A and B are shown apart, each in its own frame.
Chain A
Amino acid sequence: MPYIANTDEDRQLMLETIGCADFDEMWRKSDIHFPDCNLLEIAEGKSEFEVVKYLHELAGKNAVDLVSFLGAGYYDHLIPAAVDAVTSRSEFYTAYTPYQPEASQGTLQTIYEYQSMICRLTGMPISNASMYDGGTALFEAMMMSCRVTRRRQVVISEAVSPIFRTMIESYSSNLDVELIVVPAGIDDSNQQELIKAVSKDTACVVVQYPNAFGTIEAWQDFNQQVHTHKALSVCSCYPIALSLLTPPGEMDFDIVTGEGQSMGIPLNFGGPYLGFMAVTKKHVRKMPGRICGKTVDLDGKEGYVLTLQAREQHIRRAGAMSNICSNENLCALSALVYLTCLGKQGLIEVAELCASKAVFARNELLKIAGVEAVGGEAFFNEFIIKLPGDASEIVGRMIDKGFAPGFPLGRYYPDRKDQLLVAVTEKRTREEIKALANALEALL
């Protein structure tokens, strides 16, 4: 019996103790009067060895040697082995939410350190303990803005990740919230149009940094204008880029969120990932999600607890700031260990590598006849190019040659069917970039 310790003898003794002759009587006494269900469709149990063998086979059916320039918010960065070594400690991964702080100081201190790192990276003073992913974090930021401002209109740029926007649309469908999507420019957020949509009814403006086309934009002046309408400004950002870029906190954003996958979390075919959220001091009590705080024990010794719980569902129920009752804790731990191992200099070097290789890749690709630049004045490690034909079709042919050359934008932007979003991380070598350009050239 897999993972059940008790022997038949143990079970018999326990059944006697509870006054039952057998399991049938136990079920009856627990008010289960239904017949056993029939699970004949399910195969018989397998041994560990057999399951591992089968899953190895399945893993082998997936692309492992594809040279990938796919990003679109989810990036293939290096992960130091120490990240896995720490998160594999079962004192961390087999614990639950730190309800009993005296028995959970390990988890709690790592949350506090994680919150501190997110603050330092984003330039914001407050961070929560993490959320499911970048998309849910952005939705939560939007709802938080509605609570703070008591308004119900959200202005969102089309240059915000289309994956996040589709999630936000689903979540908003039953709520009294009005979403206004403002079309993007060639590769920017079209700030002029964006600010025109802001009024005294606007709860928040939602933008992305760098945006969904990879473009870096300055937001200080824009945010000043947003604030004159007493609306909040919300920014979703790419944490690796923040080691080089002016942090959102210095550009007067009120709420900063993002997808934290790039900080030491494998791509994992879609999850688990890490949503982060940081806010200004003023709004801390309206922030959703778990938060860890520092305090002292009876002897005056420093320690950590989950705090500001009056915001949460187990106290406020329907009036809670969010229905979320956990954080993405082990992923937050990965991010913490990643940021610790990379460190102040290491993260900058990784980001510089990404930036250099992206410029190199863009130059190589633009040398190809028929490939054209689309904007591209200011970017970090991702940019768009225009292909002479349907990008999706070209990508399909490149995949057959062993390259995932990027993400064709036509899927989400019907007027950009010939545009390709290319991401370059520190893992891509000069040879791989050259090979990509050569393969694409040969194909066009």
Chain B
Amino acid sequence: MSLIFTKSKNGRRGSTIPKCDVPKCSAIPDKMRRSTSAELPEVSELDAVRHFSLLSLKNIGVDTNFYPLGSCTMKYNPKFHEQVAALPGFSALHPLLPQLRNGGALTQGALEVLYESEQILNDLLGFSRTTMQPLAGAHGELTGVMLIAAYHKDRQDNERKIMLIPDAAHGTNPASAAIAGFKPREVATNAEGDVDIENLKQQLGPEVAGIMLTCPNTLGLFDRNVAEICELVHQAGGLCYCDGANLNAIIGRIRPGDLGFDVMHVNLHKTFATPHGGGGPGSGPVGVAECLVPYLPISEVVKRDDGTYTLDYSFQKSIGYIAPFYGNFAIILRAYAYMLSQGRDGFKRISENAVLSANYIRVKLAPFFDQIYDRNCMHECIFAGTRQSAKGVNTLDMAKALIDRGIHPPTIYFPLIVPEALMIEPTETESKETIDEFIQAMIEIAELVETDPEAITSCPKTTPVRRLDETQAARNPVLAEL
């Protein structure tokens, strides 16, 4: 489809603007005025709305298609969340208002949202406190490891520069650890998909600051030794970070704080049903055990004895400001609405149904695809497309064949330690019928690999474009229409 710029015509307008009710003038020096106008398009409102509406039809989302993208928890986003997030009492609120004298009284509703959603997260995760500030999952990771750094620094335990990270981890873990000043070091995974305890023991020592563990792990498995790992790391003087990317598998059933973790981020855009937005905005609150409370970011919302809320800036040992204000408030608000509607009993039903659906897929597809770890999974199941790649059809081809069948592909080629990986996460919101259709599509693809591999390798055929030349895009980058 042609770019919006090609639809531009001199003099066409797409918005109305108030008349000027004061004398026209400005305090901009002439020499600082731009000599030519920024070439923004000139289109009517209809032109704009139609252009973007047509573009939206070139996308698939959770609302239009099954989207079992592993590790991303693409569950349904309830519509009333959008409605409450748009209330002007929230959306028009300036973040500096509670920082002004007497301004706090005018933001009590918003502060209550922040305070109460923190309380629910504390209870759900088993932590003392939770900061709502981190703006995304990776940002939460960074905040979490910064807290660990502050803890060791405060104890003048300055040799702890190594952060242990399993080889199956997301790439963000080592990247976040590096920005917090740590040197990441890999821990091996054993043949059963758990952390190799012997390998871990060898690496523990006075230079280890902690471990970043995804729980359940990135193979979709619950590490059988998780409590022992936390204990070993603690004994060696380190702290345990839980990457909460896979929280949907255990929410309401067990609490990471009870397992021995000291700090954890959760992705509100995964477990708490806020929209993924085509890649953001997300929100990544971080829960901490008592030992890390003194280092939490500034500011914090506290409840006074009279039931009113205020901002507290008095944390001497704080890691400081990691967001401009209190987090991605409008995302937290949606998640709060979700928490309220789930309530005490709802959370466990989420994990029960998510784990059931993933195991159902695992059992049904096991005859057709290779499994590296033959054990029950958590909320996502992983296959290796090795049987198919031996026939000349790789995982990428199968992903494209799913698109032609109206299904967003699973996560592919992750974790790196699984060859030709396919990581399938159905989530609890999808019905058995949808899941059965997916299973049928996967079986059909597996059969075509045997009988007519070209039918798979030539996919996709039904999409607005066919496979794109990524090498060309990276060699001669064309990144903007100037």
Contact = CB atoms under 8 A, between A and B. Distances in A.
Nearest to A242: B38
Among A129, A297, A317, find the residue whose CB has the most chain B CB atoms closer than 10 A. Answer: A317
B228 to A, nearest CB: 13
B138 to A, nearest CB: 5
Contact of A307 (B63, B87, B184, B477): B477
Given A62-B108, A269-B110, A399-B101, A110 B52 contact: yes
Given A244-B33, A343-B40, A268 B330 contact: yes
Interface in A233-257: 242-247, 250
A7 B324 CA distance: 44
Interface string A257-291: 00100000011111111000000000010000011
B59 A104 contact: yes
* Secondary structure type dominating chain B contacts: loop
A47 B341 CA distance: 6
A272 to B, nearest CB: 3
B37 interface: yes
B385 to A, nearest CB: 16
Most buried by A among B109, B276, B479: B479
Contact of B40 (A15, A125, A340): A340
Contacts of B12: 343
Given A60-B89, A244-B34, A246-B34, A90 B430 contact: no
A72 B96 contact: yes
Contact of A61 (B112, B297, B357, B362): B112
A2 B341 contact: yes
Interface stretch (A23-31, A149-157, A224-232): A23-31
A96 interface: yes
A76 interface: yes
Interface in B439-482: 460, 463-470, 472-474, 477-482
A365 interface: no
Contacts of B429: 3-5
A439 interface: no
Given A39-B123, A242-B38, A293-B473, A62 B89 contact: yes
Nearest to B359: A18
B390 interface: no
A374 interface: no
Nearest to B411: A99
Interface residues of B, number: 207
Contact of B103 (A104, A218, A399): A399
B275 interface: yes
Interface in A337-357: 337, 339-350, 352-353, 355-357
B89 A64 contact: yes
A186 interface: no
B106 interface: yes
A369 interface: no
Given A40-B344, A62-B93, A11 B353 contact: yes
Nearest to B95: A270
B359 A34 contact: no
Contact of A295 (B258, B280, B359, B473): B473
Interface string B53-97: 101111111111001010010111110101110111111111111
A42 B97 contact: no
11 contacts: A30-B355, A36-B254, A37-B255, A39-B252, A52-B337, A93-B278, A102-B464, A103-B463, A245-B34, A329-B280, A400-B102
Among all A-B residue pairs, the 10 with the closest Cβ atoms: A45-B343, A59-B89, A270-B325, A396-B101, A174-B181, A170-B320, A330-B277, A272-B281, A61-B109, A63-B106
Given A298-B467, A345-B11, 7 more contacts: A2-B341, A19-B363, A42-B120, A52-B83, A93-B278, A314-B172, A430-B22
